[in-house]
Amino acid sequence: MKSNIETNIRKMHSRSGKIADYPWVLSLLIIVFSAVFSTTAISKDIMTLEEAVKITLANNYSVIMSKKSAEIADNNRGAGNAGMLPKLDITAGYQYNNKDIDLELAGGNRIKQDGNTDRAYNYAAQLSWTLFDGMAMFITYDKNEALKEKSDIELQVAMENSLRNLYSAYFESARLRQEINVLKSSLQISRNRLQKTLDKAEFGNAPKIETLQARVDLNADSSQYLQTELAYKNSIRNLNFIMGRDVLLEFEPDTSVTFITLFTLKEMKILAMQANTSINSAIKTKEISAFDRQLILSAIYPRINANASWSFNKSEADAGYMLSNQSSGLGVGLNLSWNIFDGLKTNTAAENARLMEEINETTYQQLISQVDMSMTNAYDTWKRRMKIYQLEEDNLESAELNFQRSEELYKLGRLTSIELREAQLNLVRSKNRILNARYQAKISETELLLLSGQMMKLGL
């Protein structure tokens, strides 16, 4: 196939007899023709944004790690982990001894035996239960619940951050894919222009400088096409990485863009104050710091523990004071402990915890202000980018009409090759500007949805 392409290019240049003067032009054109053919001949699967979102939420590395952290926080919940349930221990033991004894008793009797053995058995069950610890167990239970809720919010934060990266990369890939199509069309225009100058040169109607300029412009367009194609392939690999897939998997992003109707700025700020994940995480941080201070203060109260046990003990010996001893029975008890003075350590820790609560409150207020500012900036950016997109649509229509008119005049010989080239570049620039405007507006829209906490709800 490459030989066919080369043959066609040689035929295109054969009339001028100048192909030998520019062998590097031929090589570059062969590469371009091959790239264009491979791009159009191979049909890759189209992956929609919704499909990319599902894959990212399932496979993204940061999301997976956050899910595991949420599972750990969920495991830490429960009455048992807070110390509210009793503790039951079972023990058992056996002891064997073989020794020589030589005993002389006070009454004059003497016990002497070599190889005397004695054995001891014991087993017991002990139940202990903290009845009161200054409410620390209940505070710990509530704290663990808050930690679980915060972990769930942090999972949402990880998901949103991953989606923010995904949207930016996905729309960039879609833009590059469409830019390749724009450059492909521009390449065809440049090839047609070069062919026309070669045809005119054959009959002596075109100066050599015009043919050279047409070749230079075609080479420039070819170089830009190859660079854009490389950027597109790299963007696909980056997308695969974000989605947690093999970076060599091939697909094409969906280039269609649909805008949704957003609320007013005031309404979106209200939504943000209720659903923004960063704000909700800061709220949970405040709750947890309050629990930490309560846990420290619980140490000033007494502790009451109850315990109950049942035990069995038995020992046997061949000789000695006691040949057999056995005991078993039930025991119950109640213990009270109260630290009266600990060198003011509890007071210091409680004061530090109070200061941490104030820090977290200040952080929360700062975050509220930051989200409010970010929402204002993002909303203004979105409105302006939508307006720019609408303006670029009007500009594109004008650029297309201008190029069509220029091309007609060029064919009639009433427009120079350089003037046609300028109209061509204006058309390419206009198409690229509208691509940038369209996807930048969409990125601004998704950023607003993320800031207002609506992205996960909409399932985008």
* Three-class secondary structure assignment of 410-458: HHCCCCCHHHHHHHHHHHHHHHHHHHHHHHHHHHHHHHHHHHCCCHHHH
| Owner of token pair 């035996």 | 113
pLDDT score recorded for residue 195: 86
| Owner of token pair 């054969």 | 14
Q: What span, in angstroms and rounded, lies between the C-alpha atoms of 300 and 338?
A: 8
| Owner of token pair 């120079």 | 416
Residues in contact with 353: Cβ distance below 8 Å, sequence separation at least 6, in sequence order: 289, 292, 293, 296
Query: Residue type at 325?
Result: N
Identify whether the C-beta of residue 368 lies closer than 8 Å to the C-beta of residue 279: yes
pLDDT score recorded for residue 14: 43
Angle, helices 277-297/136-202, rounded to nearest 10 degrees: 160
- Per-residue pLDDT of the chain (460 residues), as tens digits, is 444 444 443 444 444 344 434 444 444 444 444 444 444 434 578 999 999 999 999 999 999 999 999 999 999 998 999 999 999 999 999 888 777 676 666 666 777 767 777 788 899 999 999 999 999 999 999 999 999 999 999 999 999 999 999 999 999 999 999 999 999 999 999 998 888 888 777 776 667 888 888 899 999 999 999 999 999 999 999 999 999 999 999 999 999 999 988 889 999 999 999 999 999 999 999 999 999 999 999 999 999 999 999 999 988 876 666 678 888 889 999 999 999 998 999 999 999 999 999 999 999 999 999 999 999 999 999 999 999 999 998 899 899 999 999 988 988 888 888 888 999 999 999 999 999 999 999 999 999 999 998 876 555 5
pLDDT score recorded for residue 3: 44
